[in-house]
Amino acid sequence: MRSKFVLVFLTALIACCTSDIAGEAMERYAKIQDMSGEAVIVSGGENTTIFFAFKKPSSFIISSSDVIIVSNGSVEWVYYANGSWVKKAPERPIFDYGDILSFASSTRKEGEYYVIDSDKGSVWLDGNFLPAKIVRDEMTIEFRRISVNTGMGDDYFTFTPPSGEEKAKNEKLLSIEEASKRVNFSIIVPAYTAKHEFSGALVFKFEE
């Protein structure tokens, strides 16, 4: 009987601690108004270094060597290195882990990190409850450095296409059928998309 009591007590204690960690993480996240820094995205066996900035509720910037993505929460601009750009409906930034915390299903301690899991993904938080790593949709975001609450203004999250460049034009997103008519090869539509929805295709012609 005594051993059963101890087991029940330990189970309750673990559940209590798990709840406290998730609650503390949500409280700390709620106090973050903006976040910026450097991260590495690991996806499909490739590593991409990005510089990012995020301001609640949904404004963000992602910058890499190939693309710059800017969203003011209402419109998202994607600017490619070849000068073409596209405007589209905004998506939730991949490094905003608030949805993971909101739907937390389990919490554990892994080394020096608190790990919170949900059906939205998993986030590793350091001792200050700042994200060290996020895993979602078969993608890993590893944070190299982070600054929070630096007071970024809304004007930081705007995009003006460069003027005077022939390639700087608003490209229309194409359907698979439309894109297929513009290329001399077959476009294969993957059966598995890791929960991503197809928004549209862009076709570019590169001069050799």
What's the whole-number average pLDDT of the chain? 80
Measured CA to CA, the distance from residue 85 to residue 80 in angstroms comes to 6
**CATH superfamily entry for domain 2-170:** Lipoprotein localisation LolA/LolB/LppX (2.50.20.10)
More confident residue, 4 or 51: 51
Structure confidence by residue, pLDDT tens digits, 143-202: 999 999 999 888 888 877 665 444 444 556 677 787 777 776 666 666 555 555 666 666
Phi then psi for residue 117, to 5 deg, are: -110, 150
For the residues 73-102, what does the mean pLDDT come to?
Answer: 88
Structure confidence by residue, pLDDT tens digits, 8-50: 434 433 444 555 888 999 999 999 999 999 999 998 888 999 9
**Is 70 exceeded by the pLDDT of residue 3?**
no
Question: What's the token pair of residue 113?
Answer: 């990190």
